[in-house]
Amino acid sequence: MSDLTGLFWTQDGIPIPAVTAEQMREVDRIAVEEFGLGILQMMENAGRNLAANVVEMLAGQDGEVTVLVGAGGNGGGGLCAARHLHNRGYRVNLILDREASALGDAAANQLRILQVAGLRPVDPSGVEEAIRRADVVVDALIGYSLRGAARGRAAELIDLCNAHAKGVLSLDVPSGLDATTGETPGAMVHPDRTLTLALPKTGLAAISGELYVADIGIPPEVYESLGLSFKSFFQNRYWIPLQRRAESTPDR
């Protein structure tokens, strides 16, 4: 498996390997099937880091957050973040891109917890207002699983987000962006900040806005088993800012 370095590095000049969507799927598979990590474990780590990034974007002040939720793991991470924000007293709105009954198992699990806590998805008639009113909109619609242009309700939510959101935080990959190529076959969210998970995806090299990478608990040995050169770069932090090739080249 190829080791795509030279696209991203830390502020200290440490190069970070990048992965394609296919490689990231293999990372996830090995982490679960061979190392025994649970999907909900990694989702919890992703959601907690995502919530902390929202708090940082709000500069620690009170605020309202609207989470756009897809059916898969990306949506589950967004719902997990919604719980952490709710637990800390933030006003949280949930907007699903489909009926709750159509969510995947992990996302449905996260939604059930929120529903027991009293949070319900926004009624379709209130979606635009919930996006307008929010201080931060969290894009947790698609992630790295995009195949072709976003369609249906997801595409509508992307357009509403771009038209009305004050500040946008995308989870893993801005929805509508091909995680491997950086192409946009249809509508795409334009975030102020993207929090990618585990390792940056190759397609993120071309996006605008701030870029961060978050630790979700995957051991370095998972990456090494795929032939990726991996040097620990999180140190005592759970997420760090990244520089991209399009930005200034770090001093060597």
Position 5 confidence tier, pLDDT thresholds 50, 70, 90? low
The string of pLDDT tens digits covering residues 27-68 is 999 999 999 999 999 999 999 999 999 999 999 899 999 999
Q: Residue 250 falls within a domain, yes or no?
A: no
Higher pLDDT, 145 or 242: 242
Q: Check whether 153 has a pLDDT greater than 60.
A: yes
Residue 104 CA: distances (Å) to CA of 57, 79, 85, 144, 189: 29, 12, 22, 16, 22
Q: Residue 243 falls within a domain, yes or no?
A: no
Q: Is the pTM of this model over 0.75?
A: yes
Average pLDDT of 146-169? 95
Range of the domain at 152: 4-237
Q: Check whether 252 has a pLDDT greater than 70.
A: no
Q: Residue 29 falls within a domain, yes or no?
A: yes
Distance of CA 164 to the CA centre of its chain: 20
Q: Check whether 125 has a pLDDT greater than 90.
A: yes
Q: Residue 215 falls within a domain, yes or no?
A: yes
Q: Residue 144 falls within a domain, yes or no?
A: yes
Distance CA 141, CA 155 (A): 10
Do residues 200 and 211 make contact, with C-beta atoms less than 8 angstroms apart? yes
Residue 55 CA: distances (Å) to CA of 40, 68, 125: 22, 17, 28
Q: Residue 94 falls within a domain, yes or no?
A: yes
Domain containing residue 99: CATH number: 3.40.50.10260
Residue identified by tokens 């293999």 is 26
**For the chain, how many structural domains are there in total?**
1
Average pLDDT of 197-205? 95
Q: Residue 174 falls within a domain, yes or no?
A: yes
Q: Residue 252 falls within a domain, yes or no?
A: no
Higher pLDDT, 145 or 86: 86
